[in-house]
Amino acid sequence: MSADFLDLLREQARRHPDAPALGMIGERPLGYAELVTVIDTVSNRLHANGFRQGDRMLFSIRPCVDAVALIFGTIAAGGTIVFVDPGVGPELFARRLAVVEPTWAATESLLHLLSGPLHRLGRARGLALPAFGKLPVRHIHSGPRLPGTPGRSIPLRRLFEPTTGDPVTVEPDTDALIVFTSGTTDDPKAVVHTRGSLGAGLAAMAGRSTLGPGAHLHTEQLMMGLPALMAGARWSMPRYPRFGTHIDPIGFTRTLDAATHAFFTPADLAVALSAIEAGSLAAPTGLREVSLGGAPVTTALLRRAKAALPHCEFLAIYGMTEILPVAITTGTAKLAFAEAGDPLGAPVDGVDARLADDGELILSGPNLCRGYLGGEPLKEIHTGDLARIDGETIVLIGRKKDMLIRGKTNIYPGLYEPVIARVDGVRQAIMIGVPDEIGDERVLLAVVAAGEPQAVRARLERELPRLIDTSALPDEIVMVDEIPVSGRTSKPDRAALRTLLTRNS
């Protein structure tokens, strides 16, 4: 049975009680012993207010120390945190709520205001929010009590008032976290992680990083901050803009001087690198390691990153909501890889990777989620990614659903995009198929250039025939200013790119 992640945290508190653990940037952090005390206090206060083991708490508070303490305290109390993005729209939000049936909701008071008395202002800002205050649950609110906050809502700070009581005993296979994957209103898929699956994943993540006592990670990402705590490192978080739901990558980079470690999505790192290259942003000098995840990490991006931060190593993390992490490799190893495909590295400890007959990557391990809410327990997960295994290294060669068909040839963009991205002057390259009148696909290569676009196009026309299969050569190379992205991790949005290029053709 996998170790409970809260037990792993308590072990760090026993080893390093006074070491800095968690705080906002620029503030004194809580020590490890202090953090454990706060977690136990929140757990006891929740139970005193009627919270019971098995209760589910809908969570809509932006990352901060109090939010993390409430997450930990809820799980310590035997409850389950439910992450449902309110930005998905009221219809999908309501359908997801009907699936998880939360009994509690922790909400920023600002969301109560913008979904209640100021809902018109919220819509004007592009926020089609559900009416949080009308949800038939027990409420907790963070921040000042603003109009729209339910009258009986418990102020979050009240849960931190000192109290006594013994920690609740909860088994590692108890549900801890529910996260929804992309889906429709007809088929919302809720991934359920246990305390044990989280513990296994967090331990595996820490084992592949240089995080440890004395290290300082700066990120707002929960699933990156937790491994830092498991390893005995310090985790600091940036501040969100007052009305913002995303961290500005340039502002975030400006706060990295005191950090030794950081996490970026590839899209956010690209924004920061552009500012560093333009001379409008100073490169942080103390960083030793930057983790990248949430989207493919290209060699073109790594070359830029190495040039801007030559003393820093980069880690490319591959995983999915159902099982995180799966594999981790260094930027150095990716840049040295000369074969076709995208090297992901060796599976982390405990993860078993195998290939189906059609090449699809199938995974299992102690960090695999329990399953989907309402479904049978999962023993393994079909990733939808096509791969090969070279020795111990998983090499991604494409997505089943991204496959293009031209004539009798199946073309997997993921096999060729990393190779194309290595061509001098290519910043990003995405292959898409545009169906023609007979159902075949015309292959377009969209390229963001790091140099003069027409010169880069000419170089690609010369070099591609010797770099990739002739059967996969694009019918047209289209130079674009940027690749559309979607989702919180800013993955390339192939559907939006297809629409854009079709409209402009």
DSSP state string for 252-313: HHHT-TT-SEEEE-HHHHHHHHHHHHHTSSPPPSS--EEEE-SS---HHHHHHHHHH-TT-E
Q: Rounded to whole angstroms, how far apart are CA atoms 236 and 216?
A: 7
Q: Rounded to whole angstroms, how far apart are CA atoms 257 and 28?
A: 16
pLDDT at position 185: 43
CB 4 within 8 A of CB 199: yes
CATH of the domain spanning 5-194, picked from 3.40.50.980, 3.40.50.1970, 3.40.640.10, 3.30.470.20: 3.40.50.980
**Architecture of domain 198-400 in CATH?**
3-Layer(aba) Sandwich (3.40)
Would you state the structure tokens that stand for residue 192, as one six-digit string? 């359920």
Sheet holding 371-372, edge to edge: 154-155, 138-142, 104-108, 56-60, 80-83, 175-180, 190-194, 371-372
By DSSP bridging, strand 491-492 and strand 485-486 are antiparallel
* Helix or strand (DSSP H, E) at 335: helix 331-336
- pLDDT tens-digit map of 231-286: 999 999 999 887 677 889 999 999 998 999 999 998 899 999 999 999 999 999 99
DSSP 358: T
pLDDT at position 155: 97
CB 34 within 8 A of CB 231: no
* Residues of the chain below pLDDT 50: 184-186
By DSSP bridging, strand 360-364 and strand 313-320 are unpaired
**Quick check: do 5-194 and 198-400 share a fold?**
yes
DSSP state string for 8-72: HHHHHHHH-TTSEEEEETTSPPEEHHHHHHHHHHHHHHHHHTT--TT-EEEEE--SSHHHHHHHH
SS3 assignment, position 374? coil
CB 404 within 8 A of CB 411: yes
DSSP 86: G
pLDDT at position 467: 83
Sorted by where each begins, the domain ranges of the chain are 5-194, 198-400, 403-504
Q: Does domain 403-504 have CATH number 2.60.40.1120?
A: no
């620029």: which residue's tokens?
26
**What is the pTM (predicted TM-score) of this model?**
0.85
Q: Rounded to whole angstroms, how far apart are CA atoms 305 and 427?
A: 12
pLDDT at position 260: 97
CB 196 within 8 A of CB 189: no
